[in-house]
Amino acid sequence: MFHNVGEIFKQKSSLLEEIKEFLSYHSVREKVKNCCDIPSLLCLIQNECSLTNIEFLDSVVEEMEITEATRYIETYRTQLKEFCNSLSISLCLKERFSSIPHLQCETVTFVLDWEPEEHVLKDIKNLLAQVSDGKLLKIECIEQTNSICVTCSFPFTDIGFTVLRMIENIHILMGQGLKKLTIGNLTLWRRQDVRQKELKEKDQDTLQDIISYIILQSNIKKMKKELRVHVCGYMKCNV
């Protein structure tokens, strides 16, 4: 797909400056400065996409009205949908979904109490669509420890928005078997184990909710402090 779209882009060399200007309003504005021709821009766009997320490419094609490339993107989306509907998570373990690694501060990790054989890739995509806007998070890799560990990436400039979205939708994640939620190197939420023999089921659920809420509030304060440090550092680097 990228090869076919790339060939069309190469015929649009006159759009170089327009594409650079459009991308300068995105999180890749610093990287765009190093692009001097269409091939280098294509490389940047491809690196910002993943096997399951081509929204970045789609936004450029739509903004520049490159209609010739639309059919290739739509074909890829159709094939991707069929692929995600049938591919078991067990076949995705330890596979890289993105072409380039991201900094730890640009990642969010979900540890889910799932069995790989009982879920397909679409289940993860649906969950991400529920807790973000569907475009914010990109799957980086899926691993298995005692549970399923899904690592996603997001632009560092959107860290504040990402934290807020995770907090707002923590109940959705909890309902899907969330055991641990980490953003950067900070654990934002973790399910606590309580001795079930010592508590009735209803009391145990109530206590667990209280414990989780206390931990969440504590970690929100830590995340805000860390966010201020990262933002200050980012601003100094761009002065």
**What letter would DSSP give residue 183?**
E
The residue ranges of the chain whose pLDDT is under 70 are: 99-101, 134-135, 193-239
Per-residue pLDDT of 212-228, as tens digits, reads 655 666 666 666 666 66
Q: What's this model's pTM, rounded to 2 decimal places?
A: 0.62
* All structural domains of the chain with their residue ranges: 2-86, 89-237
Across the beta sheet with 148-153, the strand order is 138-144, 148-153, 107-112, 178-183, 186-190
Interval 123-169: pLDDT, tens: 998 999 999 876 678 888 899 878 899 999 888 878 888 888 888 89
- What's the maximum distance between 2 C-alpha atoms anywhere in the chain? 72
With 0-12 CB in 10 A as exposed, 13-18 as middle and 19+ as buried, what is 231? middle
* Cβ atoms of 138 and 97 closer than 8 Å: yes
